[in-house]
A = this chain, B = another copy of it.
Amino acid sequence: MELDRIAAFSDAIFGIVITILVLQFAVPVLHHPQSISELANALISLLPKLASWFISIVIICKFWINHYYIFKLARKANFALVWINCFFLMSQSFIPFPTALMGEYYQNPLAVSLFGVVMAWNTVMYILLHEYINRNLIKSEFKNAQDPHIIKKSFIGVFSYLLGAGVAWINIYAGFIIFLLTPLLFIVPPKLRTEENEEQGV
């Protein structure tokens, strides 16, 4: 199978997931449609949903960028890669549910920690994909170009999401903040040490 078509398929799914996240914002029901204060209160009560939506999109964008990065490492695709990718995308496509749940029940630690668990799970699926490419499909020029501890370092993301999930039982806002900070750790995929980069002293 061609890497390009799988990448395009993945991009479509990332794009749809990002876009349908907005569907969790239902138009509030007002008893007095023209009441400014009632609508203002209804909109203020949507702020936790907005926070949940924002964190979720930042995380998905980060997954999209990193997914792009590991697909560039692969020299070809095989059926194992396609299926691991399918399970990764399936996990991505699930994200709107815990996002909406956390937005609705932001005061419920179970809802907040479920969000963290789903994101940790997604990171594990991503690591699996990365590790499979590293072991079986890596382009020869990238064989030694990656940080040898890259996979271990990726587990920091898993633990960070689980930490947020745990902390939510003590302080919910701390959980939110950890969820938001985690993608920032990986906001840019690690540099590859190719010969070209070394020559330029990068």
Residues of chain A at the chain B interface (Cβ within 8 Å): 1, 5, 7-9, 11-25, 27, 30, 33-36, 39-40, 43, 53-54, 57-58, 61, 64-65, 68, 79, 82-83, 86, 89-90, 93-97, 100-101, 104-105, 107-111, 114, 187-188
Taking the closest CB of chain B, its distance from the CB of A21, in whole angstroms, is 7
Q: How far is the CB of A148 from chain B (nearest CB, A)?
A: 23
Question: Which of A8, A15, A61, A104 has the most chain B CB atoms inside 10 A of its CB?
Answer: A15
For A14, give its contact among B9, B11, B94, B100 (CB under 8 Å). B9
**How distant is A19 from chain B, measured CB to nearest CB, in Å?**
4
**CB <8 Å contact, B90 and A57:** yes
CA distance A56 to B83 in the complex (A): 14
- A66: min CB distance to chain B, Å: 11
In the bound assembly, the distance between CA atoms of A165 and B17 in angstroms comes to 30
Q: Per DSSP, are chain A's interface residues mostly helix, strand or loop, or mixed?
A: helix
Total identical chains = 4
Looking across the interface, which residue of chain B has its beta carbon closest to that of A39? B110
Whether B33 pairs with A105 at a CB distance below 8 angstroms is yes
Cβ-defined contact, A108 with B39, below 8 A: yes
Q: With the chains together, A178 CA to B24 CA distance in Å?
A: 29
Tell me the smallest distance from the CB of A84 to a CB of chain B, in Å: 11
How far does the Cβ of A183 sit from chain B's closest Cβ, in whole Å?
11
CB pairs A–B below 8 angstroms (14 shown): A5-B11, A18-B93, A20-B20, A22-B97, A25-B97, A27-B97, A27-B100, A27-B101, A33-B107, A36-B110, A39-B111, A43-B110, A54-B90, A61-B86
